[in-house]
Amino acid sequence: MAALLLMTVACKKNEEKAAYANAGSTDTTTVKSEAAEAVVPMDSAAMEKAWIAYATPGEAHKMLAMDNGNWDEDLTMWMKPNDPKPMKTKMTASSKMVLGGRYQEMVHKGTMMGQSFEGHGTVAYNNASKKIESTWIDNMGTGMMYMSGAYDGTAKTMELKGEMVDPMTGKNKPCRETFTVIDDNTRKIEMFDVTPDGKEYKSMEIVMTRKK
C-alpha cells in the first residue's frame, strides 16, 4: 500500500513538472506576443487623423439638420395594448443643431395629462461607432432614457432601441422608437412599450408638421 502511494505521488509530481514546463513555455510565448503588441504606440499623426475624423460633422449630421425649425405636434398615447380610448393632445417642438452642427437638440412643450410638459431630446451620429445615439429627459421623471441604432443614409425610417427603468417595478425594460421622414415638412415618431409579460405594443405616436 505504501509503495503504491509513493508511486502515485511520484507520478503526480512528474505530471505536474511536465505541465508546469509546458505551461511555462506556452505562457512565455503568449506574454511576449501580447507585450510586443501592447507596447506599439499609435503614431501621433494617426491619432490626430482619427480624432479629426471623430469630431468632423458629416452627411448624417446634415440629415439631422433637416429637422431644424419649429413644429406642431399631434400626439396620441395608448396606455395598454388595443386601448380603445387613447389620450390625444397637441404640443410644439423646436429643433436646432448645437456645438458646431454635431448634435441635434429638440425641445418639446405642451400639456400632458392636465400638466405642463417639457421634454428635451438630444440626437447624435457617432462617427466612431457609426450609430445614431439619443438621450431623453422630461419634467415628468428624474431619469434619462438612452437609445441607439444603425444609420442608413438612404432609409426614410430610423429605428432606435434601448432600456429604461420602469418606475412601477424599479427594473429595466426594453424600449424602442422609430423616426420616419414622411416628407420635407412632416415627421412621425412612434414609441413602443412592453406589457408585464414582455409583449411589445405601440404606446405613442407623434405626427410633426413644420410650422410655416
- The predicted-structure confidence for 187-207, as pLDDT tens digits, reads as follows 999 999 999 888 999 999 999
Confirm if 67 and 211 have CB atoms less than 8 A apart: no
Question: For residue 83, how far is the Cα from the chain centroid?
Answer: 29
Give the Cα separation of 196 and 166 in Å (integer): 10
- The predicted-structure confidence for 80-115, as pLDDT tens digits, reads as follows 999 999 999 999 999 999 999 999 999 999 998 889
Confirm if 204 and 191 have CB atoms less than 8 A apart: yes
Confirm if 162 and 132 have CB atoms less than 8 A apart: no
Closest CA to 122 of 98, 86, 157, 91: 98
Question: For residue 2, how far is the Cα from the chain centroid?
Answer: 66
CATH 2.40.128.20 fits 59-210, yes or no: yes
- The predicted-structure confidence for 23-65, as pLDDT tens digits, reads as follows 444 455 555 555 555 656 788 999 999 999 999 999 999 999 9
> Does residue 3 carry a pLDDT above 60?
no
- The predicted-structure confidence for 149-202, as pLDDT tens digits, reads as follows 999 989 999 999 999 999 989 999 999 999 999 999 999 999 999 998 889 999
Strands 186-194 and 103-112: unpaired
Find the distance separating the first CA and the last CA of the chain, reported in whole Å: 99
Residue ranges of domains in the chain: 1-40, 59-210
| SS3 of residue 108 by DSSP | strand
Confirm if 118 and 106 have CB atoms less than 8 A apart: no
> Does residue 7 carry a pLDDT above 90?
no
Closest CA to 206 of 96, 121, 127: 121
What is the model's pTM? 0.78
Question: For residue 44, how far is the Cα from the chain centroid?
Answer: 30
- Max Cα distance, the chain (Å): 99
